[in-house]
Structure 1
Amino acid sequence: MTTTSTPGLARFNTSQDDAALAVLHEVCASSAWGSKLLAQRPYATAEDLFTASDAALAELGVKDLEEAMAGHPPIGRPKPGDPTSAREQRGMAGASEALKAELLELNLAYQEKFGHVFLICATGATGEQMRDAVKTRIGNTAEEEREIVRTELGKINRIRLTRLVEEDKD
């Protein structure tokens, strides 16, 4: 995939700016991140797009990261009707009511401390793993947590961009 274009990447490269920006917003809610990726089109390969995404993410300031995090629902509460949110939080689907309640309490404590949702790349993670991550990360400083959030956001963006470039439909 790193040497050739895919149908999804070709479609992204040739779509109108407003349509491409809307697609990028679904990947990451940071308008600064989306604008940077849009400005660098066309991408020869998916790897070029991923590299541009990582570079744009590394340049995001505090407000841009806050904007990006605002696009993510709390763990255990995927956005209703949003298949991406439900797919990414699949690990919570079979969680017990006790685990869901504990995670809700931890999410609220985290949000109280840091002022934003707890962000983790939930794809492939169990409810217990997500709970344990909140428990660990709530002890971080704001600066430590901001860099962890940046890393987690990068993982999420890459997964979502991969889905975008691998899509075969029109």
Structure 2
Amino acid sequence: MTAGNVGGVWLDRYALSRVCASPYWVTVMYAGCPYADRSAVLLANDRATAELSRDDLVDALHGHARIGARSHDDPAGRAEQATIADGGPEVLAALRAGVAAYERHFGHLFLICAAGRGATETLHALRRRLTTSAEQEWETTREELCRINALRLDALLRDVAAAGGRGGYA
């Protein structure tokens, strides 16, 4: 079987690839199985994300929708960005323009852990990040990716536990 055991919960490569689109991250996370508990999974995420090369980060970015996009085929991303959609039209327009400026400036997708952030807060963070160096921005992107991965891993473990997996947590 091509799955890893997490405290009795099986995580396969496909499930891990839905958390993070970097093949390297998936391979590292899968190789670390079995994990004793949720904390071990999250620690492994911290380590695997810290090891990502720039090319691996680019791969990971392919698994994320553009902030403020009206529609995309990423259910996790839609849920994570739900509070951004509540911004007023002016803020959303400024956010879309800021994201475009960011992508022109840095040459890659603007990634931020949007869960629980409103459009205004996200816009302020975007504007701050536009003033950083390219090297600092890659590190910030890595930190944001790690946060997003942790949220997605939590959701994955909850789903597995709800489906009757033996190693879930409440």
1:50-129 residue pairs with structure 2 within 5 A? 50-77=42-69, 79-129=71-121
1:152 aligns with 2:144: yes
Partners of 1:151 and 1:79 lie apart in 2 by 25
Amino acid across the alignment from 1:84: A
Query: What SS does structure 2 have at the residue aligned with 1:90?
Result: coil
Q: Is 1:111–1:117's contact at 8 Å kept on the other side of the alignment?
A: yes
Identity %: 35
Cα deviation digits, residues 106-132 of structure 1 (max 9, x gap): 001000111111110000001000001
User: Is the CA contact 2:6–2:33 (under 8 Å) kept in the aligned structure 1?
Assistant: no
Cα separation, partners in 2 of 1:142 and 1:93, compared to 1, 3 Å: same
Q: Secondary structure at the residue paired with 1:87?
A: helix
1:11 deviates by 3.0
Q: Once superposed, which parts of structure 1, at least 4 consecutive aligned residues long, lie more than 3 Å away?
A: none
Query: What's the TM-score, normalizing by structure 2?
Result: 0.87
- Alpha-carbon distance in structure 2 between the residues aligned to 1:122 and 1:137: 14
Q: In the aligned structure 1, how far is the partner of 2:29 from the partner of 2:7?
A: 13
- The TM-score normalised by the length of structure 1 is 0.87
Change in 2 beyond 3 A, CA 1:37/1:130:
same
CA contact (8 A) 2:65 2:74 kept: no
Q: Which runs of 5+ in 1 are unaligned?
A: 1-6, 14-19
Alpha-carbon separation, structure 1, partners of 2:10 and 2:95 = 37
Q: Aligned residues, how many?
A: 158
Bigger drift between 89-98 and 107-116 goes to 89-98
Query: 1:166 and 1:103 mapped to 2: Cα distance?
Result: 32
> Mind listing any 5+ residue stretches in structure 2 that lack a counterpart?
165-170
After TM superposition, give the deviation of residue 148 of structure 1 in Å. Answer: 0.6
